[in-house]
Amino acid sequence: MSEPRQVIVYSRKGCHLCEIVKETLTKLHRRGGFHWSEVDVDTDDQLRRQFTDEVPVVFIDGRKAFKYRLDEHEFLRKLAG
């Protein structure tokens, strides 16, 4: 059996779009196949500069996959790819 994919969402507190993406990931996580974690960009100066107002950003196995919004069907397609 292959290892679960690693998903990271870069976000910040008070970000409405970030909350929507995290809710979607929580729902999709029930299907399995990936682990996800969240990184608050405001806890690190470099991340804050890198992402400025471009959150949420979702990475799958270290590759940028989504910015601002996460389409469920496209996410599942990328996970399978």
- Residue in the structure block whose two tokens are 């990936």: 34
Does 1 have pLDDT greater than 80?
Answer: no
pTM for the full model? 0.93
Which residues, listed in sequence order, are joined to residue 66 by a DSSP beta bridge?
58
Average pLDDT of the residues in 14-18: 97
3-state per-residue secondary structure call for 6-17:
EEEEEECCCCHH
> Which domains are seen in the chain, by residue range?
5-80 (3.40.30.10)
Confidence of residue 50 (pLDDT cuts 50, 70, 90): very high
Average pLDDT of the residues in 50-57: 94
CB 66 within 8 A of CB 24: no
Integer Cα distance of 52 and 60 in angstroms: 20
Q: What pLDDT does residue 2 have?
A: 74
Mean pLDDT over the full length of the chain? 94
CB 36 within 8 A of CB 25: yes
Q: What pLDDT does residue 32 have?
A: 82
